[in-house]
Amino acid sequence: MNLGICGAGWQPAADWQSAWPRVGDACRQKGNLVPRTPKPIANRPQAASLPHSKTMLAALCISLTFFLSACEKKATAESDPSATGPVPTKVQPDMDSSHFKVDHPEQFPLVTAGEHTAAPELNVTGVVSPDVSRQVPAPSLATGRVVEVDARLGDTVQKGQLLFKVRSTDIAGAYSDYQKAIKNEQLARIQLNRAKILFDDGAIPKSQLEVAQNAEDNAQVDVTTAMEHLKLLGSDPDHPSGIVEVYAPVAGVVTDQQITASSGVQALTAPNPFTISDISHVWIVCDVYENNMAQVHLDDYADIHLAAYPDRVLRGRISNIAPIVDPALRTAKVRLEVDNPGLMRLGMFVTATFHGQTAEKRATVPASAVLHLHDREWVYVPLGDGSFKQVEVVSGAMLPDNLQEIVSGIKPGDRVVSSALVFQNTVEQ
């Protein structure tokens, strides 16, 4: 049976009436279904929505045409990537994590490492520290309570400058001993004079005169000792006072303060109320890794670079190399002695550069060829056939024309990727 569906519209087939009895016979053979006799086409009312159905069918055909066209364009774009933009670079990681292979190596220009002759250098960090031989404590001379503080931490003081005052009972005890010593000496002198008169008259033996003379001598010693005690406490024997004044023993900077007003202090015991340091001569204490110890020698000189004054370079002499290596950091302490022109402050970070004795040939590459990643430095070396290898290097000083000195990792004449950051970004993508 032909239903006659076509693009021009829908028309009933001419043989549908002859086909209908055959359908009815098949249904009767099944035993239950009896078809109703259809009305002739001529007797059926014409569908009022036939023009509307044609319109819907035409719209469906147009939508299907656009859908098939879009699918064809999508398939074309997927099959031909060059039609949508530049050819992307594909990176194929090797079994070795430091090896990479790209399908368009011409996108990464290469440069040849140059040659630079220089003496080997070792750069280490250090800290400005006071010279312990120039650190002088200013202890309290008496036990008591602080009643006045005349200097502060960080102040620059001169020798003999007043630091603080202490009210102490030690003055009263020392003055009492001094007064007793004076009275005893006066009594011993009177007894000695009497003994001399009696001895001249023959009333006493010579031994008693000698005993009187010894008592006088001992009394004079006691007076001298008591007087020195008072002077040590800073008190005038003729005008004693309960206040002990402490003065700066040397000129320098107050680098430690352990007292405040109304605090208590002990005589000549730690902690010292003040510590004064002479910072005209300081130490630079550096940490040198054990694998670089061969480049450091006693009495050699190093250049000192200050971050605060990049245009100033100071010279320091290696005075000590510690015999102990830190078991955790694997570094040893190296001490430099430097005259301070007034630029260095205690605790400042510096960079010390140790120079070797013989010149060495080193490679140079553009600064852009070095990738700084996780406190390490890398370059990319071509292996051929689109393969590259990530090589760790140790950089040196920056040279003119934006060149970077390479201490180790590559040698002059080696070829590297000129822009390591661009290559790294491609690898990560």
pLDDT digit string (tens) for 264-281?
A: 998 888 899 999 999 999
Structural domain tally of the chain?
A: 3
Phi, psi of 148 (to 5 degrees): -160, 135
Domain boundary among 193, 218, 241: 241
Instruction: Establish if 144 belongs to a structural domain.
Output: no
Residue type, 217: D
Would the pTM of this model clear 0.85, i.e. be above it? Answer: no
Instruction: Establish if 261 belongs to a structural domain.
Output: no
What are 275's two structure tokens? 């510590």
CATH number at residue 108: 2.40.420.20
Instruction: Establish if 420 belongs to a structural domain.
Output: yes
On whether both 27 and 71 belong to a single domain, the answer is yes
Q: What was the pLDDT predicted at 361?
A: 86
On whether both 25 and 64 belong to a single domain, the answer is yes
pLDDT digit string (tens) for 123-136?
A: 899 999 999 999 99
Give the model's confidence band at 236: pLDDT under 50 very low, under 70 low, under 90 confident, else very high: confident
* Sign of the dihedral defined by the CA atoms of residues 291, 292, 293, 295, in that order: positive
On whether both 408 and 370 belong to a single domain, the answer is yes
Domain boundary among 186, 219, 241: 241
Instruction: Establish if 152 belongs to a structural domain.
Output: no
Q: Which of 243, 241, 273 is nearest to 255 (CA)?
A: 273
Q: What was the pLDDT predicted at 172?
A: 84
Domain that holds residue 189: 170-241
pLDDT digit string (tens) for 166-206?
A: 998 888 888 889 999 999 999 999 999 999 999 998 889 99
| Mean pLDDT along residues 34-53 | 46
Contact 91, 386 (CB under 8 A): no
Q: Name the percent of the chain lying above pLDDT 90.
A: 48
Instruction: Establish if 313 belongs to a structural domain.
Output: no
Between 206-232 and 170-200, two packed helices, what is the crossing angle to 10 degrees?
A: 160
Instruction: Establish if 309 belongs to a structural domain.
Output: no
Q: What was the pLDDT predicted at 5?
A: 39
What are 382's two structure tokens? 């071509």
| Mean pLDDT along residues 7-27 | 47
DSSP, residue by residue, 334-373: EEEEEE--S---TT-EEEEEEE-SS-EEEEEEEGGG-EEE
Instruction: Find residue 243's DSSP bridge partners.
Output: 167
Instruction: Establish if 264 belongs to a structural domain.
Output: no
